[in-house]
Structure 1
Amino acid sequence: MGLGRRIGDTLRLPTRRGRAILVVLVVLALAAAGGGAVALQSPKLLAALGVKGASPVDAVMLAPVPQLAALSATAPTPSAAGIASVVDPLSRERALGQFAGVVVDPAAQRGAAPLWQLSPEKPLAPGSTAKVLTSAAALLTLDATDRLSTKVVAGSEPGQVVLVGGGDPTLTALAAPKVGTYPDPSRLDDLVAGVRKSLPNQKIISIVVDNSLWTGPLLAPGWDPADVGAGNITPMVPLMLDGGRADPTLQDGPRVGDPSGDASKAFARKLGVPTSAITKGTAPPNAKKLAEVVSAPVSALVEHLMTTSDNVLAETLARDVALSRQADPSFAGGSQQVLAALSQAGFDVAGATMVDGSGLSTSDRIPPRLLGAILGAAAAPTGPGQGVEFLRPIVSGLPVAGGDGTLDDRFDTTGAAAAGRGVVRAKTGTLTGVSALAGVVTDADGRLLVFALMSNGQSPALSRPKLDGIAAALSRCGCR
């Protein structure tokens, strides 16, 4: 498995008039492998690429273009002593506070000892690295092609419809093609259009909102209500727009205090029903379905929540795991079933305690051993007959150091962690006094390594750069 930039980059070739023509780069593997430059001659090349009407340009010599390719299966495996010689000195930094971690070779046999470990069984507050557990449980329990839905059914009275929350936080009131923060969102406009198509000659008089899919409190134990206004979370109900964001385009913008109320009012306005005609209730048994819209598939949602650390989406998937396992779709039920699903899949969850699915709670505890085991399985090489890569979206969704997601502003170019930029991919975890970093890195010999690093009891301003430094040191290390 190769981890790098995507194929399909473009090159701008300047014309003599100062304009730019976009030319799709065709990567010539033989030329690149031979280390030679590729000459682009115009106008013949431009004509061959279908670019017409361009002025002739002089020949342009290009250096070989990096390719997205699999890592070598024969790359040397680091030794435990080699890894220890690099990581041990860095792990003794006082700025790390209570520190524990593991470094794992994902190509090793399952159950093999880590290449490096320090207090691997010690349960520590994980912050958002807990999303690794929730994502894994979702991918192991649900079908990767499953989609979350919102539907409207007929009410018990003429002219009444029921808006049924199905736990899809990606539902948006934005008109196509506009999008907020979620990939391929479901749309309120499509839901309204479906209702009108099903009831072409009937005036809608009233709307009932059904939020009965989920149970329990709206905020988890250990959550700070101030986190709603701070943009970290919204009260968890199965009907909301854009994850409860006040501004659907802001990933970390303030959330609303009544996401279901806002969603139902937007639906009423689009349907031409007074908001005063909205009531709370449940759908009649066997009610006729009038319209339904669905989210992007679960695999895409997992990638998104790993990249952006979306708390609402993580909590949603935890409840879906509970529902699939016929358990209570609450904070308690979701977090319990996440651990149960992982245990059923063969992961040792001893020492793990979760009260939510996002890691936002200060009551969550996870040993780094478990994080390393899950990421090791997600990053393990596969071949013919070895089964579907169920957990792979966890790795493909990991933020890139210095590039995107929650790592876009870390691994500074002038700091000790600069060597990790573009090479380290990891899930972050940050709370007051909590820092964690868990992901994958390619070492100097081209070997893919998995790491899980956890720090408690220190300010993230002090501990996060130290975690970044350890991950970057692994990228520079052959460690043999």
Structure 2
Amino acid sequence: MFALLAGGAIAAGAATVPPPGVAAAASTTGTTAPTATARPVAANPTVSRLRTCSVSAQAADGRLAQMQAQVRNATTGELLFDRGGSTPSRAASVMKVLTSAAALDVLGPDYRATTTVVKGSSPGSVVLVGGGDLTLSRLPGGQHSTYDGVAHLDDLARQVKAAWSADPSNPPLTTLVLDSSFFSGPEWQPSWNTKEQGDGYMPHIAALEVDGDRDNPARATSPRSDDPVGRAGQAFADELGVSDVQRGPAPAGAAQLGFVQSPTVASLIQQALIVSDNTIAEMLGRLTAIKAGTGSDFGSINAAVVAALGSYGIDTTGIHVADGSGLSDDNAIPPNYLTQLFVKINARTGDLGVIFDGLPIAGKTGSLSYSDRFTGDAAVADGSVFAKTGWIDTGYTLSGVIHSSDGTPLTFAVYALGDVGDDAKTAIDLLTAAFYRCGDDLSNN
């Protein structure tokens, strides 16, 4: 009976006490019930469980030099591991992921760069107008360059010859004018090491260019020239059968005689990421700036890319973009931005699935399939790490998605910066493999 009476009293109290923080209404007897004190309650409270899997030994590897790293649970977004994750630093070629994300936002996956030919201002002249397609090839159609699905100069020349011949008022075709004004400013980023040109990793960046200005169009790594516009112009002059090659702007409103287009942005991104192609990354960065309206030189890339990255709802504080490829030491990207962006890439948010599809896979494809990546103890993660590699003289980087051993998808970024050697790649792979083993049990200790 006592229990029943007590229960009734509790029930009666529950019926008369208002919700926390809400004053009670006056009773019929004229008295006022006391206001209940609200107890703070977290919105959607979560409890972080104790995690016990340590990677402290791998993280302490001296080959990582000035190490920064961060790991998140890609499903929940929960931060699992953090070492300097909020500090903006040079990210090397991992920068290509951010350039790609910006291009998808501003240009869209189906955008193509267009190279055109128009009538010149003088009799017998035509103007080759570069539209920023650095993959345009001088190889005959049917021959494969280092890039897939590209346009060819011989196709463009056939169009021009047919259009020129169709107008009987045209005099013989004698002069080719080259217009590369779509890009402005210096062709070489001042902070780049010039050896990258001779070693075959980076061309001068011009709006009119063929085969990424490679000496050998079929080789990914091939020395580049000091005059990409001249190389492209001479190749097209040979196709047209003219010897007089000049430079200058296309006349306003000139009649178009032909055009060809680059592969889509989606295709370009996947080709840039899988083997870390600098040429395509710079092409995407410059086209993004032009479409965004920030300018057409190297200096215009930062504003365009940072604004586009902000559209993904991730804080861009501290980000600075000096180029599209990541070759510059002046780039600054906090690992924290990358781990959050890769959460969205892993979820294929918007068009970001394009980036995931282009990522190298450990032990399987692209720059993570080379003989010095994910070997020995790190081979346990083969096939389970989808990530972009990075290397410059002052650092090695790796960032992407791990399908960990317990089934938990993780996003991660690892920077090894400073006085590092080639063996930093091994140390990065071993740390990444340790993340793979731990999965959602990864400890921050």
Same fold per TM (> 0.5)? yes
The CA distance in 2 between the partners of 1:126 and 1:412, in whole Å, is: 18
SS of residue in 2 equivalent to 1:437: strand
Matched, 1:338 2:305: yes
Does 2:274 match 1:307?
Answer: yes
Shift of 1:253: 1.7
For the pair 1:472 / 2:441, whether they are aligned, the reply is no
Q: Which residue of 1 aligns with 2:99?
A: 134
Partners of 1:137 and 1:80 lie apart in 2 by 36
The aligned counterpart of 2:219 is 250
Give 1:26-41 correspondences, 5 Å limit: none
| One-letter amino acid of the structure 1 residue matched with residue 403 of structure 2 | T
1:104 aligns with 2:65: no
Separation in structure 1 between the aligned mates of residue 361 and residue 372 of structure 2, nearest angstrom: 10
Higher radius of gyration, 1 or 2? 2
Distance in 2 of aligned mates of 1:445 and 1:303 = 29
| CA 1:177–1:356: 2 relative to 1, 3 Å | same
Aligned residue among 232, 255, 264 for 2:201: 232
Counterpart among 324, 327, 345 of residue 360 in structure 1:
327
Name which of 183, 188, 211 aligns with 1:219: 188
Residue in 1 aligned with 2:20?
A: none
CA distance in 1 between partners of 2:420 and 2:330 (Å) = 18
Whether the 8 Å contact between 1:430 and 1:460 is mirrored in structure 2 is: no
Task: Map 1:117-196 to 2 at 5 A.
Answer: 117-196=82-161
Q: Distance in 1 between matches of 2:300 and 2:69?
A: 28
How far the C-alpha of 1:301 sits from its partner, in A, is: 0.5
Over aligned residue pairs, what C-alpha RMSD do you find?
2.0
- Residue equivalent to 2:377: 416
> How many Å separate the matches in 2 of 1:427 and 1:342?
17
Contact 1:354 1:365 in 2 (8 A): yes
C-alpha displacement of 1:319: 1.1
Q: Could you tell me which of 74, 88, 98 is aligned with 2:56?
A: 88
Please give the alpha-carbon distance, in whole angstroms, between the structure 1 residues aligned to 2:327 and 2:400: 19
Q: How many residues align?
A: 392
What residue number does 2:290 align with?
323
Q: Which amino acid aligns with 2:181?
A: S
Q: CA deviation at 1:225?
A: 1.7
Q: For 1:264-291, what per-residue CA distance to the aligned partner results, in whole angstroms no more than 9, with x for missing partners?
A: 00000011001xx111100001111110
Q: Distance in 1 between matches of 2:272 and 2:49?
A: 33
| Residue 395 of structure 1, aligned match among 321, 337, 356 | 356
**Correspondence for 2:336 among 363, 369, 376:** 369
Structure 1 position 180, deviation (Å) = 1.1
| Matched residue type, 1:118 | R
Q: Secondary structure at the match of 2:205?
A: coil
Are residues 259 and 138 of structure 1, via their aligned partners in 2, closer, same or farther at CA, if it must alter by over 3 Å?
Answer: same
Distance 1:414 1:369, change over 3 A: closer
- Contact 1:355 1:363 (C-alpha < 8 Å) held by counterparts: yes
1:412–1:308 CA distance, 2 compared to 1 (3 A): closer
1:119-166 per-residue CA deviation (whole Å, 9 max, x = no partner) reads 111122111011111110000111211111111011112211000010
Q: 1:439 and 1:172 mapped to 2: Cα distance?
A: 32
Give the match's secondary structure for 2:423.
Answer: helix
Secondary structure at the aligned position of 1:419 is classed as helix
Equivalent position of 1:47 in the other structure: none
CA positional deviation for 1:408? 2.0
The DSSP-based 3-state class of the residue aligned with 1:338 is helix
Q: Which amino acid aligns with 2:366?
A: G
Deviations 1:290-323 (A, max 9, x none): 1000011111111111111111111111111111
Q: Which runs of 5+ in 2 are unaligned?
A: 1-47
Q: Is the 8 A contact 2:72 2:79 kept in 1?
A: yes
Q: Secondary structure at the match of 1:264?
A: helix
Spell out, residue by residue over 1:105-125, the C-alpha distance to the aligned partner (whole angstroms, 9 max, x if none): 2222xxx44222111111221
Q: Do the aligned partners of residues 411 and 114 (structure 1) sit closer, same or farther apart at CA in structure 2, a change above 3 Å counting? A: farther
Aligned residue for 2:433, secondary structure, equals helix
2:257 is aligned with 1:290: yes
Taking the aligned partners of 2:83 and 2:142, their CA distance within structure 1 comes to: 49
Residue 80 of structure 1 deviates from its aligned partner by 7.4
CA distance in 1, matches of 2:338, 2:222: 29
Distance 1:450 1:410 in 2: 24
Shift of 1:460: 3.6
Contact 1:335 1:357 in 2 (8 A): no
Change (3 A) 1:159 1:135: same
Deviations 1:316-373 (A, max 9, x none): 1111111111121111101321112112332211112221111101211211011112
Counterpart contact for 1:402–1:411, Cα < 8 Å: no
Partners in 2 of 1:81 and 1:218 — Cα distance?
Answer: 53
